[in-house]
Amino acid sequence: MAITIASLAEQLNGTILGNHSMVVLGAQSLEKAQPEEISFVADEKYLQTLAESSAGAVIAPGMLAETFADELPCDAVILVDDPQAAFLQSLEMLRPRRPRTRIGLSRGATISPTALIDAETNIHPGAHVGDDVIIGSRCDIHPGVVVGNGCRLGDDVILYPNVVLYPDVVIGNRVTIHASAVLGADGFGYRLIDDRRQKLPHFGIVRIEDDVEIGSCTTIDRAMIGETVIGEGTKLDNLVMIAHNCEIGKHNAFVGQVGLAGSVTSGDYVVCAGQVGIADHVHLGEGCTLGSKSGVHKDIPAGQVYMGAPAQPVAEALKTLMAQRKLPEMLRVVRRLEKQVRDLTDQVDRLSGSDNQPSEAAA
């Protein structure tokens, strides 16, 4: 889609410096943008990258107006209050989303006669909807999705292909679940009886609150008793594992390959970077952050940043990391000292041996 700088600036409520009539054909990062494309700079830290960029136009913060007063870095600059938000808005105009199709309930889907489905919801071919399911308005259930018996879905829910909801999963409004995620499988619970592992039954459910997004191939296990809960606004990346009876707070963000053992709880606004592993029954305090590959075996205080395995406050973890980097040199020093000690020991032994030899006069 093509749009002039003048039209784009009007939509963004921005001020133009340079060529008002320039036509923009696309949007791209500073490093990859071409002369017919627009990009953005968040602040003055990116001015050098902008100077090296081929972008024909750029969205920039108003505070940089004086910087561009003498010479523009490209054909046109749009000054706004929030460049990133304006750039995202421009992407919506230059790369409009495909409109939502209206197919209703496909004859190619398997839908129980006891399911209650709003008339504005789409059930695509190949989907399965079980008994006593309730699905709200404007939902999209894509091919290969399985919605188990007794599930409850709110409004504006999107289940992408091959999502599986085991029976009795409860999902709020405006929830997006990406391809091949599995919600409601039994937790990993067993006990030894007569030297054999006996499965523990799981009678609970999974409940997903409003405005949650769940990535592809993520798994969330049902509770043994009660609920496994994902709080309002929380975002889970691909390949995240949430075990039985976890209760995740509001607006958490878990990056790919994070794994939570059973009964982990978290406050609001917790962030876990990639490959964080958390032991069972640990509590993550509100607003805490865990660095990538952290191994957490005890509660994390609210508002703190921890990293490492085992996880520790970031300042201590960095000291440990720096010490580890010195280990090869320390090993070389230790080996030199060991050799010196051996040499000195040999010299002492030789001197001691000489002192113990009988003299010629004594002989």
Q: What is the pLDDT of residue 363?
A: 46
Among 94, 118, 147, residue at a domain's last position? 94
CA nearest 61: which of 10, 14, 7? 14
- Residue identified by tokens 């209650």 is 116
Same domain, 197 and 235: yes
User: What averages of pLDDT result for each successive group of 10 residues across the chain (363 residues)?
Assistant: 92 94 93 94 92 94 90 93 94 89 94 97 98 98 98 98 98 98 95 93 96 98 97 98 98 98 97 97 97 96 95 88 85 91 90 69 49
Do 41 and 115 fall into the same domain? no
The residue among 273, 275, 274, 267 whose CA lies nearest residue 300 is 267
Assigned domain for 361 exists = no
Instruction: Supply the pLDDT for residue 355.
Output: 67
Q: Report the distance separating Cα 347 and Cα 350, nearest Å.
A: 5
Q: Are residues 291 and 165 in the same domain?
A: yes
Domain containing 69 — which CATH number?
A: 3.40.1390.10
- Chain centroid to CA 187: 22
- Cβ neighbours, 10 Å, residue 226: 14
Catalytic member of 142, 202, 244, 251: 244
Please check whether residues 153 and 295 belong to one and the same domain: yes
Count of Cβ atoms closer than 10 Å to residue 243 Cβ: 21
What pLDDT was estimated at residue 360?
55
Instruction: Yes or no: say if 16 and 86 are a contact pair by the CB < 8 Å rule.
Output: no
Same domain, 129 and 248: yes
Residue 356 is predicted with a pLDDT of 65
84 three-state secondary structure: helix
Say whether 283 is catalytic: no
- Check whether residue 53 and residue 202 sit in a common domain: no
